Amino acid sequence: MRALVVAGARPNFVKISPLLRAFRRYRDVETLLVHTGQHYSKAMSAVFFRDLEIPLPDVNLEVGSGSHARQTGEVMKRFEPVVGKFRPDVVVVVGDVNSTLACALTAAKLCVPAAHVEAGLRSFDRTMPEEINRLLTDQVSDFLFATEPSAVRNLRREGIPGRKIHLVGNIMVDALRYYLPRATRSGARQRLGLAVGGNRKAKDYILLTLHRPSNVDDGQRLRQILRVVARLGEHCPVIFPVHPRTRKQAAAAGLDAMLRGGSVRAIAPLGYLQFLDLLSRARLVLTDSGGIQEETTALGIPCLTLRDNTERPITVTMGTNQVVGTDPERIWRAATRVLERGQSRRRVPRLWDGRTAERIIRILRREVR
């Protein structure tokens, strides 16, 4: 079996690492890595390849940034000849970024089976570009690898044949379990003054991430979020690794001063191991990221999702996640409640055991012809 594995953005890199490691165990599997270049800065791309021990890509499409239509179309245009050259038996895509849809759609048009890792996740909010990517990728894919039972139900409601759907667990948890020991030795917390006397004794802090256009492209909403976070910072220090897009939008909205000094400590983007070190010891996490909702559930860290919905409902029903939206007072109440009372660890979902990649490769080896 020859598999083309596609990655384009930071969450993709985390997910393909366990897959590539599992594929390498089998001599009858040839794996080729395609990097679309959707994330092209060193901070958002190269550092993750290093931390996650991902080999240099066999092909880099070097697409870069652009509108959703331009980026999706450019990936398709550049990926089509790659499929023609290597003639894979399967194209493996992960997540919900533009590269995911573009490469799955290209494979389908060329009659090459596509496998979608993290299939079936739904926010039911079509204003999110990721939701469109998820819906369409699942419609054209031949192997749909789901992380949770709700994803399986979503796919069945959408008319996907049951033979295509496989509940395999969460590939992000594979990476987390494998790299967590190494992350805690990275020294990230010590360098930021967040640990005392080694890795085991940590200072309290809140970890914040923001990158979704609905939060950072609206200057007024971003201002409100940063203000309530600054209030929280007066009770517990806030560490904020600032996504390049978020920093750019904050500057455009005249919010630079809110990212300098004060109770919110804005820092440069972190590599995967450094970020995981901070995440694993945080007292509370505030985020609009889907993947971080899953990681906090696996780690038992309280998480407040700064959105009105989640495509990962199991993180709420079984995990440590609360969806609180962007209303400042609602964020304040939920956060202070966690800081005052703490939050007991919930159950880790079934199959989030670090063996998802192995399940995927077994299915592909058995069924790809």
Which positions are catalytic? Answer: 211
- Report the interhelical angle of 171-184 vs 290-299 (nearest 10°): 60
Across-strand partners of 321? Answer: 303
* Residue 61 identity: L
Q: How far does the chain reach from its first CA to its final CA, in angstroms?
A: 8
What contacts 310, CB < 8 A, 6 or more positions away? 123, 290, 293, 316, 321, 323
Structure tokens at 22: 């599992």
Sheet holding 2-7: strands in order across?
Answer: 59-60, 30-35, 2-7, 90-94, 114-119, 143-146, 165-167
> In this structure, what are the phi and psi dihedrals at residue 190, rounded to the nearest 5 degrees?
-60, -40
Residue linked to tokens 């996640």:
321
| Cβ-Cβ contacts under 8 Å for 5 (sequence gap 6 or more) | 16, 19, 20, 23, 31, 32, 33, 34, 92
* Tokens 């005392």 sit on residue: 196
Pairwise CA distance, residues 114 & 90, whole Å = 6
Angle 98-109/129-140 helices, nearest 10 degrees? 20
Q: What is the DSSP letter of 284?
A: E
Instruction: Specify the DSSP class assigned to residue 349.
Output: P
Work out whether the CA dihedral 215, 341, 238, 9 comes out positive or negative. negative
Tell me the Ramachandran region of residue 111: left when phi exceeds 0, alpha when psi lies from -120 to 50, beta otherwise: left
